[in-house]
A and B are shown apart, each in its own frame.
Chain A
Amino acid sequence: MTARSQFNYIGKPLARKEDRRLVTGHGRYLDDIVVPGALHACFVRSPHAHAKILGISVEAAHEVPGVVGVFTGKDLAQWTNRLRQAPRIEGLQPTEIETLPTDKVRFHGDPVAVVVASDRYVAEDAAELVEVDYEMLAPVASLEAALAPGAALVDDALPSNLVSHQSFSAGNVEARRKEAHAVVEATFYQHRQTHVPMETRGCAAVWDQGREHLTFHIGNQVPHPLRSALAGRLGLSESQVTVISPDVGGGFGQKIALYREELTVAALARHLKQPLRWREDRSENLMAASHARENLCHTRTSVAADGRILGIELEIFEDFGAYCFYPANYMSRVVAMILTGPYRIADYTFEVKVALTNKCGNGPMRAPMAITSWVMDGTIDAIARQLELDPLKVRRVNMLRTADLPYRMATGETLEDITPAETLESAVASIGYDAFHERQRALREEGRYIGLGLCTVVESTTYGSAFYKTTGIAGSGHEAAWVRIEPSGVINASVGLGGSGQGYETALSQTVAEGLGVDPSMVRILTGNTDVAPYGMGSRGARGGTAGGGALYLCAQKAAEQVLRIAAHRLGLNSAQELRLLDGQVERRINNEWTGTGLFLTDIARTAYLDPTNLPEGVAPGLDFSLTYDPPPMTYSNSTHACEVEVDTRTGRLTILRYVVSEDCGTVINPIVVRGQQQGAIAMGLSGSLFEQVVYDENGQNLSATFADYLVATACELPEVEILHNHTPNKRTPAGIKGMAEGGVMGAIGAVSNAVNDALAPFGVAATHQPLSPQYLRSLLRGRADRNRQEGQD
């Protein structure tokens, strides 16, 4: 089913408007912006995971020709405010972060000082000459170490390293356990990863002493919240700061927070009254930008003999790193809230524990709740294994059907307009579930091990203000838009999103075109400049389509109303009811037929701006509209991923043979863009599950700070993704848009793990950890082999 037919411009596969400049090298990323006379900053970073700063000597660095200054945390403390993170959430410890640390460093890569010089090379030379006298402290290099009794404190202001602890209970899981046919336990460890946008972080700050105004160039996903944070931390008003975020070379959640380096650069530009810029190198990005994930989940599930889930208990631990750039409960809490996803489960408890360690601080990364579907569908597979049932049957027996909707999850979240049973059936049909098992049996006889993994995702998107309110997190989920029809009839429009490759200029122009009734080529979308765009909440949490596209669509409808009112007046009609705009022409319905009136948007625009005495009574001159829109508390998309793999049991090498996804993400604004997002999200999930890993040794030394150590999947390792469509609009959002682009990560992580476990089933082993590296898979198989040998000896 598709909602496309009811629209004229939404749903069209328009090729992207932004491509021309990008394929010819004329994009304008942060580092391409020339700022005349700009100085360069280079940060001095801690070589230790945890150490007291006894002294910093900057004299040698100062003497390097070209060095303008060397600054430390003490300097920055005079010019900036600390970051306080203290939403009133039960069990969450308030934290504070200095701009640069003055007392101690908390992870390998922590910035301790900054050198400002005429040139990046000189700044780097001089940074090597800054000497920091450290007194080593015990490193807290793992979750276990963080939570062990008597552990060294990462943040001395807290009573322990347990920075956040929440629990929840619905129904009666203990009673369910007693009446259960079996209780199934399962473990899932998702390793530490990082975002790796191909463009690293950076910024350029220009302080205008005369106007007392800061212009801040930066690639960022949330320009307005960033501006508020920047102004607040610098003690400026929001009207004294302009954030300009031009083309952005990927964000994936890394470019949301105001980082300490960026704040430092802004403060120093003002202090020195000279423009200053900074570009992070790749090692800094891998070591110190922001990390993500690293959580350990246990489930304990009470089940009936047919695999029906009676109750589920979840325990999550997250290693949050050294600093809270976000409230520490934020990511894991969402996992816990939506865990049960597509399944009918009323009895549910969770416990979420988040600990600080001496590692780089965590932040949201594309699908901050990535582990959710792996945990849930991995639990289903564990049930099937223990009860010797077909995993597909266990899914079917538990899955929500259309008749169950809207469904209130045990956590109180409401699911509606989703189709998990349908995506499951279409994915298994497409991948040929039954035929696969025949092939699997035959190949096993030849000593080849293939596996099929399923994962059904219910993806939370577009967090509305009501969601923030109920979870106690400060902030809003609204978005803001304006649409301006210019005197010549062309349209400029803007929204508070900050794009980083999602194709907003194209897709969002389609939402404006739809609301107004013009061709998308007439619409220009202007984002990423806080002086131009309205104050919106930016791009994160897959909200671009629903919140951003929705706001623009509604705003364009508001514009259309006014245009048609003027048109009616010009046509001598009493009302605009029988009028519409299509392809820029006013059409009139006569006997149920739409016919052109010969009046065009250009005519109306000219009247509105240049001949206002001809406007109907009460209509003000000009055609300038704005609007804010707050989406429902949450919208949900869903999908089922099916992945076929082969494991070479001699080497542990994993090959993906086939990948099918059936997805329902509501009304599709632009199918080309949506397909690209699906492919990209799945690629990120697979790359993360198979290769990527931030590695710290037991002393907290980061061992993965180059692309030779932190492996990102290349074109040789990723499969072709087959996509099946299954789109049902959301009844509560403008145009039925739901949001998407994170579910692909969630599904990929689960599907590939489940496939590996299916392949390894004959050996009686199951992977509980990622990445699914050859070494890890071999160690599982070897463990089994060793056991066999021992058993043989007994």
Chain B
Amino acid sequence: MSDKRTITLTVNGTTREADVEPRRLLSDVLREDLGLTGTHVGCEHGVCGACTVLIDDKPARACLTYAVQMEGHEITTIEAVGEETLSPLQQALHEEHGLQCGFCTPGIVMTFEAFLREMPDPSEAQVRDVLSGNLCRCTGYQNIVVAVLKAAAVMREKRP
């Protein structure tokens, strides 16, 4: 079964190598081979959004992506967000109690880091629409929506 090949991935701006089978999922390579366990796996069938990472700055499901497909692409994971200080979105999730168990949170952060860059002034309906791609079992979403809108406002103010 094991026909491994060496692949080179650019993750969070760093070049990393891994020996993987072609069928190995990006989520598993990130978590197990590269030790970046912030990307969570909640369903492995593309519905829950917990595994969301950015591929070339666009949100994507790491559980539906093979790592070998990723050569030549830039991958960004939760570990690259808010390393020193929390990002406005992370800060707002904290302030508005937008998380409980936190398992869904990295996927939500990655989804909206990308979204708020493209859509700096979203409506609540737009936020809910995008958020419907991420399942959260704990919060009922209400505080997450408030946090995203708050983060958008903070980011708009900070823009030059």
Q: How far is the CB of A671 from chain B (nearest CB, A)?
A: 10
Cβ contact within 8 Å between A122 and B1:
yes
Cβ contact within 8 Å between B90 and A200:
no
Cβ contact within 8 Å between A23 and B1:
no
Complex Cα spacing A143 to B44, Å: 33
Tell me which residues across on chain A come within 8 A of B129, comparing CB atoms: 715-716
A20 CB within 8 Å of chain B: yes
B149 CB within 8 Å of chain A: no
A97 CB within 8 Å of chain B: no
A 20-61 binary contact with B (CB < 8 Å = 1; else 0): 101111111101101000000000000000000000000000
Cβ contact within 8 Å between A716 and B132:
yes
A 718-730 binary contact with B (CB < 8 Å = 1; else 0): 1011000000000
Cβ contact within 8 Å between B78 and A715:
no
Tell me which residues across on chain A come within 8 A of B100, comparing CB atoms: 250, 501-503, 676, 680
B 12-41 binary contact with A (CB < 8 Å = 1; else 0): 000000000101100010010001111111
Chain B interface, DSSP helix/strand/loop, else mixed:
loop
Which of B1, B43, B141, B142 meets A707, CB within 8 Å? B43
B9 CB within 8 Å of chain A: no
Which of B38, B43, B86, B131 meets A282, CB within 8 Å? B43
Q: Give chain A interface residues in 623-681, CB to chain B under 8 Å.
A: 672-673, 675-676, 679-680
Tell me which residues across on chain B come within 8 A of A16, comparing CB atoms: 94, 97
B54 CB within 8 Å of chain A: no
Complex Cα spacing A716 to B35, Å: 34
Cβ contact within 8 Å between B139 and A680:
yes
Q: How far is the CB of A458 from chain B (nearest CB, A)?
A: 22
A682 CB within 8 Å of chain B: yes
Cβ contact within 8 Å between B82 and A716:
no
B 109-138 binary contact with A (CB < 8 Å = 1; else 0): 100000000000000000111011111111
Q: Chain A: which residue is nearest B146 at the CB level? A: A720
A612 CB within 8 Å of chain B: no
Q: Chain B: which residue is nearest A721 at the CB level? A: B142
Which of B36, B38, B132, B138 meets A714, CB within 8 Å? B132
Tell me which residues across on chain B come within 8 A of A18, comparing CB atoms: 102
Tell me which residues across on chain B come within 8 A of A31, comparing CB atoms: 31, 37, 41
Which of A200, A249, A252, A675 meets B97, CB within 8 Å? A675
Q: Chain A: which residue is nearest B148 at the CB level? A: A715
Q: How far is the CB of B82 from chain A (nearest CB, A)?
A: 5
Cβ contact within 8 Å between A708 and B47:
yes
Cβ contact within 8 Å between B78 and A249:
no
Complex Cα spacing A692 to B55, Å: 32
B144 CB within 8 Å of chain A: yes
Which of B2, B37, B86, B144 meets A65, CB within 8 Å? B2
Tell me which residues across on chain A come within 8 A of B136, comparing CB atoms: 198
Cβ contact within 8 Å between B139 and A200:
no
A519 CB within 8 Å of chain B: no
A247 CB within 8 Å of chain B: yes
Complex Cα spacing A281 to B25, Å: 14
A125 CB within 8 Å of chain B: yes
Complex Cα spacing A503 to B138, Å: 12
Complex Cα spacing A229 to B12, Å: 44
Which of A15, A19, A23, A198 meets B42, CB within 8 Å? A198
Complex Cα spacing A720 to B139, Å: 11
The total of chain A residues at the interface (CB under 8 A) is 59
Q: Chain B: which residue is nearest A27 at the CB level? A: B102
Q: How far is the CB of B36 from chain A (nearest CB, A)?
A: 8
Cβ contact within 8 Å between B90 and A718:
no
Tell me which residues across on chain A come within 8 A of B137, comparing CB atoms: 196-198, 250, 252, 680, 684, 712
Report which residue of A250, A712, A715 has the largest number of chain B beta carbons within 10 angstroms of its beta carbon: A715
B79 CB within 8 Å of chain A: yes
Cβ contact within 8 Å between B1 and A65:
yes
Complex Cα spacing A714 to B137, Å: 9
Which of B2, B128, B140 meets A683, CB within 8 Å? B140
Q: How far is the CB of A717 from chain B (nearest CB, A)?
A: 8
B95 CB within 8 Å of chain A: yes
Q: How far is the CB of B95 from chain A (nearest CB, A)?
A: 6
Cβ contact within 8 Å between A22 and B102:
yes
Tell me which residues across on chain B come within 8 A of A764, comparing CB atoms: none
Cβ contact within 8 Å between A19 and B78:
no
Tell me which residues across on chain A come within 8 A of B21, comparing CB atoms: 121
Report which residue of B38, B133, B138 has the largest number of chain A beta carbons within 10 angstroms of its beta carbon: B138
Cβ contact within 8 Å between A250 and B97:
no
Complex Cα spacing A247 to B86, Å: 20
Q: How far is the CB of A219 from chain B (nearest CB, A)?
A: 9
Complex Cα spacing A65 to B138, Å: 41
Tell me which residues across on chain B come within 8 A of A34, comparing CB atoms: 35
B143 CB within 8 Å of chain A: yes
Complex Cα spacing A22 to B99, Å: 8
Cβ contact within 8 Å between B78 and A682:
no
Q: How far is the CB of B5 from chain A (nearest CB, A)?
A: 15
Cβ contact within 8 Å between B102 and A20:
no
Cβ contact within 8 Å between B145 and A715:
yes
Q: How far is the CB of A117 from chain B (nearest CB, A)?
A: 10
Contact A26 B38, CB 8 Å, known A247-B102, A249-B102: yes
Selected A-B contacts with CB under 8 Å, 24 pairs: A15-B94, A15-B97, A18-B102, A22-B105, A23-B86, A24-B79, A25-B36, A25-B37, A32-B31, A64-B1, A121-B21, A196-B137, A198-B48, A198-B103, A198-B137, A198-B138, A200-B42, A250-B138, A501-B138, A672-B97, A683-B142, A714-B141, A715-B128, A715-B132
Q: Which positions in A face B, CB cutoff 8 Å? A: 15-16, 18-20, 22-29, 31-32, 34, 64-66, 120-122, 125, 196-200, 247-250, 252, 281-283, 500-503, 672-673, 675-676, 679-680, 682-684, 706-708, 712, 714-716, 718, 720-721
Q: Which positions in B face A, CB cutoff 8 Å? A: 1-2, 21, 23-24, 28, 31, 35-45, 47-48, 50, 77-79, 81-83, 86, 90, 93-95, 97, 99-106, 109, 127-129, 131-145
Q: Closest 3 interchain pairs by CB?
A: A25-B38, A501-B101, A683-B140
